[in-house]
């Protein structure tokens, strides 16, 4: 690094004055969302201990009940849609991109009126097949996010049926298990191959009688279905059937009725069907009653996380209930940012891996120019200084000159962003809070708690925690009783109780009794502790904790989060064993960065990517960089990876190494890379090239 570069010296000479300028007391401009966020409770005392031993949000009065809904007229999903219809003044509801002759793909919308009318006609179509109304009927949805998904979901509520989403990326056996266990008579498929796979296995799903396919299909599929007792219809045929069928007055659900059986994406084992009620979802919406985020009919929400996951469903239903617009992504996960630029959402729900990828790409571009990096970091320090005073704005000189590019990646209109599914790296979290100039909240929950549990307080811009419990739940920590998973005395297993807790697992009484305790508490299987402000600090899954022979405990996810910040690392799995003192890692390298680095810094230009992954000089450089990053981020020596293996095979949902919300499936990755993991430990035993120890 050329520290004597006069341009860089000028940047650094201005750096301190920029930070001093940011910390001077002045009235913030109020352009768009910009302004100071005052927390809605004492930031230093965010929870209190209730008389029954659970901790509650300090916004609740000691004797007040937990919140069960936000709007009196939106306590079921049936009501939420119709409330959205009313408050939007019959405005636009669902949008998708439609290709045009001029090569553009603008979003086109259908209105709330159309959604209500079409869902009621589809409900009639369901009855026309002889499908019975009521809670004993399960309606399947096997599709990526799209308007048809939403329409069939809401058709199921018209006559109080229960919908059962199937992840679009579920493997054949998982899919058949869900269809068979739920005994669904009807399923929506977005693609022909999904319908074909179900028809081919018709003898294993005897209750399935109707498949509606969104994509065009030939007569062969229809004939094959008929031979196996399954009726195949196009989506337009399905709608027309409902239009022609005699209408039956709705029999809408009550808050305690089941809305959906959501099968956990799970990192291990057979999927479990979590029974979510209408009231569970309404109770989660209560968190938006304590928010500065815009929550009315001007909200634009981009739907791209799998709709089969409750985290995504919460985003959709919250926006729907206030009459906002929901835009569906184009179907390609690699083009989500392009969808953002076209749709310009004001509200997003996302997961850490998405933000990590954007963060790394931004810094990948900056690393090649010391001048640009210096200017960028000076502007970032200025925005962080504002953030430290609780000021969120996107109209500063730093935004106009630099950060508008980051904001425009997400459409330039964000006022609210919620991240969940896994814990965010603190540096990345602060980066996006500063650069996006919007409310960014981090939450924690599980499908069993309707994807909610805790969420950070608006105005609290500290990191390293996931906030206090929401106002519709109480929380406590139970001792971890597994002697092999002993933890610090301040930690315990996180438990929730309240109206957001699901009604157990479908047809699984034993594991329901183990997880949903008789006194109402849900055992999450996660370890955490409370900090001095009453906020929850996540440690890890109990089963993921690693105790080394020397007695030290390791949290693999935390270590992965550190190494994930390296430009060399696209994905990483850190592995530890109770009989080994060292950690090893399987790394999916960033191909472009590795090739450019080898050519620029090591003068290696002729080798293929495959050869670079085994090149001694390349591995030494990467190992040194990872070691230095670990030290910089505070990893202890025993937390540093001792050896790593480069793989060209990415961890994906399709190869079952990621969950649909993009978390590592640790047991699957360990199993698929067992040979490489054993090989690394063998090399360490003979002391051959201990890669990160210099």
Q: What is the pLDDT of residues 659-688, one digit of tens each?
A: 877 788 888 898 999 999 888 888 887 665
Q: Find the helix packing angle between 112-128 and 147-158, rounded to 10°.
A: 60
- Name the one residue in this structure whose structure tokens are 């430990």: 681
The chain-wide mean pLDDT, for the chain, equals 87
* DSSP annotation string for 621-633: HHHHHHHHHHHHT
- Name the one residue in this structure whose structure tokens are 């341009």: 7
Beta-strand ranges (E) seen in 344-430 are 347-350, 391-392, 416-419
The span from the CA of 538 to the CA of 422, in Å, is 10
CB of 443 within 8 A of CB of 466?
Answer: yes
Alpha-carbon distance values, 141 to 105, 303, 584 (Å) = 26, 16, 40
Residues 16-51: tens digit of each pLDDT: 444 443 434 433 333 345 567 777 788 888 889 887
Q: Which residue has the higher pLDDT, 26 or 597?
A: 597
CB of 286 within 8 A of CB of 70?
Answer: yes
The span from the CA of 593 to the CA of 15, in Å, is 29
Average pLDDT of the segment spanning 357-363: 89
Residues 226-266: tens digit of each pLDDT: 999 999 999 999 999 999 998 889 999 999 999 999 998 65
CB of 195 within 8 A of CB of 211?
Answer: yes
Two tokens, residue 563? 């190494």
Q: Which of 578, 589, 618, 626 is nearest to 601 (CA)?
A: 618
Q: Which residue has the higher pLDDT, 124 or 10?
A: 124
- Name the one residue in this structure whose structure tokens are 């569906």: 328
Helical segments of 144-253, H only: 147-158, 172-182, 192-200, 219-227, 235-244
- Phi and psi dihedrals of 267, rounded to 5? -90, -10
Residue 455 has pLDDT above 50, yes or no: yes
User: Any residues with CB less than 8 A from the CB of 407 and at least 6 apart, and which?
Assistant: 394, 399, 414, 435, 436, 437
Residues 402-439: tens digit of each pLDDT: 999 999 999 999 999 999 877 888 999 999 999 999 99
Alpha-carbon distance values, 191 to 59, 82, 145, 216, 292 (Å) = 47, 30, 12, 8, 40
pLDDT of 265 reads 61
pLDDT of 58 reads 86
Helical segments of 456-564, H only: 509-515, 556-563
Lowest mean pLDDT among 475-489, 500-514, 567-581, 631-645: 475-489
3-state SS, one letter per residue, for 356-387 = HHHHHHHHHHHCCCHHHHHHHHHHHHHHHHHH
Helical segments of 60-146, H only: 77-87, 112-128
Residue 542: pLDDT band (50, 70, 90) is confident
pLDDT of 694 reads 30
Q: Count other Cβ atoms within 10 Å, centred on residue 244.
A: 11
- Phi and psi dihedrals of 198, rounded to 5? -70, -40
CB burial of residue 188 (10 Å; 0-12, 13-18, 19+): buried
Q: Find the helix packing angle between 352-366 and 370-388, rounded to 10°.
A: 140
Instruction: Give this prediction's pTM.
Output: 0.82
Instruction: Specify the 3-state DSSP secondary structure of 20.
Output: helix
pLDDT of 369 reads 84
Residue 639 has pLDDT above 90, yes or no: no
Q: What is the DSSP letter of 521?
A: P
Residue 15 has pLDDT above 60, yes or no: no
Two tokens, residue 389? 């005073």
Q: Count other Cβ atoms within 10 Å, centred on residue 629.
A: 19
Residue 504 has pLDDT above 90, yes or no: yes
pLDDT of 543 reads 77
Q: What is the DSSP letter of 603?
A: -
pLDDT of 6 reads 38
Taking the CA atoms of residue 632, residue 637, residue 642 and residue 645 in that order, the dihedral angle to the nearest 10 degrees is: -40
Beta-strand ranges (E) seen in 576-689 are 583-589, 641-646
What the chain holds in terms of domains, given with CATH numbers, is 28-74+256-294+346-543 (2.30.38.10), 77-94+104-253 (3.40.50.980), 545-685 (3.30.300.30)
The span from the CA of 398 to the CA of 401, in Å, is 5
CB of 326 within 8 A of CB of 150?
Answer: yes
- Name the one residue in this structure whose structure tokens are 């002889």: 130
The span from the CA of 346 to the CA of 365, in Å, is 27
Residues 38-88: tens digit of each pLDDT: 777 888 888 898 877 789 998 888 888 999 999 999 999 999 999 999 999
């Amino acid at each position: 690094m050329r520290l004597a570069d006069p341009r860089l010296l000028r940047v650094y000479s201005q750096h301190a004055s920029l930070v001093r300028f940011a910390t001077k007391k002045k009235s913030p401009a109020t352009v768009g969302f910009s302004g100071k966020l005052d927390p809605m409770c004492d930031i230093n005392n965010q929870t209190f201990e209730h008389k029954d031993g659970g901790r509650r949000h300090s916004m609740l009065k000691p004797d007040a009940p937990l919140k069960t809904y936000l709007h009196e007229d939106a306590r079921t999903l049936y009501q939420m849609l119709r409330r959205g219809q009313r408050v939007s003044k019959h405005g636009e509801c669902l949008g998708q991109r439609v290709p045009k002759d001029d090569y553009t793909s603008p979003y086109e919308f259908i209105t709330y009126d159309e959604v209500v009318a079409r869902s009621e006609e589809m409900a009639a179509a369901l009855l026309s097949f002889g499908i019975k109304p009521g809670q004993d009927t399960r309606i399947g949805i096997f599709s990526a996010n799209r308007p048809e998904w939403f329409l069939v979901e809401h058709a199921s509520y018209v006559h109080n049926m229960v919908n059962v989403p199937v992840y679009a990326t579920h493997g054949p056996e998982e899919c058949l298990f869900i269809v068979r266990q739920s005994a669904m008579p009807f399923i929506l498929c977005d693609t022909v191959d999904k319908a074909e796979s179900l028809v081919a296995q018709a003898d294993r799903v005897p209750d399935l009688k109707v498949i509606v396919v969104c994509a065009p299909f030939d007569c062969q599929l229809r004939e094959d279905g008929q031979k196996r007792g399954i009726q195949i219809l196009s989506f337009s045929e399905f709608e027309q059937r409902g239009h022609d069928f005699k209408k039956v007055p709705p029999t809408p659900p009550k808050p305690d009725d089941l809305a959906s059986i959501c099968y956990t994406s799970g990192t291990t084992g057979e999927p479990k069907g979590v029974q979510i009620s209408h009231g569970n979802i309404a109770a989660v919406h209560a968190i938006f009653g304590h928010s500065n985020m815009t929550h009315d009919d001007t909200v634009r929400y981009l739907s791209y996380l799998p709709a089969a996951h409750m985290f995504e469903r919460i985003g959709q239903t919250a926006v729907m209930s206030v009459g906002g617009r929901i835009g569906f992504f184009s179907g390609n996960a690699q083009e989500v940012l392009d969808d953002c630029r076209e749709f310009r959402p004001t509200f997003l729900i996302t997961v850490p891996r998405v933000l990590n990828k954007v963060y790394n790409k931004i810094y990948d571009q900056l690393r090649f120019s010391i001048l640009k990096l210096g200017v960028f970091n000076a502007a970032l320090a200025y925005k962080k200084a504002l953030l430290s005073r609780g000021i969120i704005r996107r109209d500063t000189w730093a935004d106009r000159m630099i950060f508008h590019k980051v904001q425009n990646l997400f459409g330039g209109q964000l006022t609210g962003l919620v991240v969940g599914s896994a814990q965010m790296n603190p540096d990345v979290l602060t980066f996006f809070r500063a650069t996006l100039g919007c409310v960014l909240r981090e939450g924690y929950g599980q499908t069993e708690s309707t994807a909610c549990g805790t969420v950070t307080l608006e105005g609290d811009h500290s990191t390293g925690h996931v906030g206090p419990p929401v106002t519709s739940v109480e929380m406590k920590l139970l001792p971890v009783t597994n002697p092999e998973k002993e933890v610090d005395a301040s930690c315990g297993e996180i438990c929730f109780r309240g109206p957001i807790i699901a009604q157990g697992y479908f047809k699984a009484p034993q594991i329901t009794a183990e997880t949903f305790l008789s006194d109402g508490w849900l055992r999450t299987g996660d370890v955490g502790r409370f900090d001095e402000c009453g906020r929850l600090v996540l440690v890890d899954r109990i089963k993921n904790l690693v105790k080394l022979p020397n007695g030290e405990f390791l949290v693999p996810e935390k270590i992965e989060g550190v190494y994930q910040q390296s430009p060399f690392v696209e994905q990483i799995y850190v592995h530890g064993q109770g009989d080994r003192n060292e950690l090893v890692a399987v790394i999916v390298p960033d191909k472009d960065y590795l090739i450019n680095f080898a050519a620029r810094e090591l003068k290696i230009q002729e080798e293929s990517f495959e050869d670079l992954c085994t090149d001694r000089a390349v591995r030494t450089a990467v190992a040194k960089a990872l070691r230095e990053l670990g030290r910089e981020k505070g990893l202890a020596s025993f937390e540093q990876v001792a050896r790593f293996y480069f793989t060209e095979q990415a961890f994906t949902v399709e190869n079952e190494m990621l969950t649909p919300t993009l978390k590592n499936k640790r047991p699957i990755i360990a199993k698929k890379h067992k040979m490489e993991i054993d090989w690394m430990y063998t090399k360490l035993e003979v002391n051959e090239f201990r890669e990160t120890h210099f």
